[in-house]
Amino acid sequence: MAAPQTIAQKIIAAHCGRDHVEVGEYVTVTPDYTACQELFWPGHKRNLERIGVDRIPRPDKAVMVIDHSTSAAMGSHHHETHRTLRDWCARQGIENFFGPGNGLRHLVLTERGFARPGTLIFSDEGNIASIGALGALNLPISTEVIVAIIQDGNWIAVPPSARITLTGRLGFGVTARDVIQTILRDCSPDGRLLQCCVEFDGPGLATLSLDDWQTLLASLFHSGAYTGIMTPDDRVLDYVRARDAGRPWQAVRADPGAVYMTELTYDLSAIAPMVTVPPDAHGAVPVEQAAGLHIDQATIGFCSNGRLDDLREAARLLRGRKVAPHVTLYVTPGSRGVYVEAAKEGILGDLAEAGATILAPGCTTCWGYQGVLNANEVLISTQQFNYQGRNGDRTSRVFLAGPAVVAASAIAGQIVDPRPMLAEAAR
């Protein structure tokens, strides 16, 4: 009798034509989709040309998104990349091409119905683990995405799994970003999640929104985890049914008795607003330890916090207030869908009236493409990375936080705990 299987083992087994796979075993899997972005495309294109690939076997499985360079500035090479990727997709018959302004691959995959329970998607970045909120498994394989495109498959080593159980409920002014920053603080230094597929479960999950679920998963790769996933609940199934366009899927649950390399429990009620101090993505401290630090720029959005709930949280604080005169605030919706819904709700208007600049959906300031910092400037951001020189001059510093901390700090002109402002707004 086969040993009990985790969610990752079950999905991988289904995609290599097996009933059962063992952790550490090498298997060849056939993905449902392979997702690429334009920043790595010039290298992919050169490799395809060296190999002499004229046609790919399954253009319907390729999802190509321009999300990093959402505009092509004078003097940059990005306009050439946009054109060559667009032209290559047209020659290959790839209909799933999403040009500038459609948003991040993470949200294109979820909002357009590609990520469905039980599906397996190859990508070139680990933060696309956020699709695991819908019960889809992301396997990041870097430059080998072209192998998957050429062969409609690739080999992988079956990863071990870890389980994080969430209990309780978030306190006032605390967000899902504070939760994942706490997990990264605890788990990154000792590598306890290294190369694992992390399954989240527990009663605390039901108290979080689907946007929150994606936030937890999007930053998980900073812990050294391979990917992450959650068991779909009724909310997920309703979300997927509205977008699947008749495409197949199957919700997958772990077997009782499945083996996990690490098991952790977090009480959401014990989490506080956090700030991650540069240059380490796991250097989170309670916000009061960083409070009072003068800031020059603040940014909200991206794959970590560019969803509708994040913009709502920022608007709660910024509505009726003004960004400090010396602070530049950029807000980047994660997708065109988020942008449209935020506009309909009046969120974008509230943010703009407060002094924010709304950027096109995509990565924008997260990788330094926009909002470049000068020497010794300080940025507080919901972005993914805070290493030296990430956003400009190497003497600048990037502090990471959730949307509530970033919005409140933009108003105050210094890093602050958002809870007093939130309490005032609630009155």
Nearest to 363 by CA among 65, 94, 81, 34: 65
Q: Enter the pTM of the model.
A: 0.96
Token duo for residue 111: 């909002």
Contact 336, 67 (CB under 8 A): no
Assigned CATH topology for domain 274-426: Aconitase; domain 3 (3.30.499)
Tens-of-pLDDT digits for all 427 residues of the chain?
679 999 999 999 999 999 999 999 999 999 999 999 998 888 888 999 899 998 999 999 999 999 998 877 766 788 899 999 999 999 999 999 999 999 999 999 999 999 999 999 999 888 999 999 999 999 999 888 999 999 999 999 999 999 999 999 999 999 999 999 999 999 999 999 999 999 999 999 999 999 999 999 999 999 999 999 999 999 999 999 999 999 999 999 999 999 999 999 999 999 999 999 999 999 999 999 999 999 999 999 999 999 999 999 999 999 999 999 999 999 999 999 999 999 999 999 999 999 999 999 999 999 888 999 999 999 999 999 999 999 999 999 999 999 999 999 999 999 999 999 999 987 7
Token duo for residue 360: 């096109």
Cα gap 32→154, rounded to integer Å: 12
Cα gap 172→94, rounded to integer Å: 46
Contact 88, 110 (CB under 8 A): no
Strand ranges across the sheet with 284-286: 284-286, 274-276, 397-401, 378-381, 297-301, 328-332, 357-358
Q: How far is CA 42 from CA 206, 214, 285, in A?
A: 42, 29, 39
Contact 314, 404 (CB under 8 A): yes
Token duo for residue 315: 């608007």
Strand ranges across the sheet with 137-140: 97-98, 62-65, 33-37, 120-123, 137-140
Looking at the chain, which residues constitute the CATH 3.30.499.10 domain(s)?
7-266, 274-426
| Domain 7-266 sits in CATH 3.30.499.10 | yes
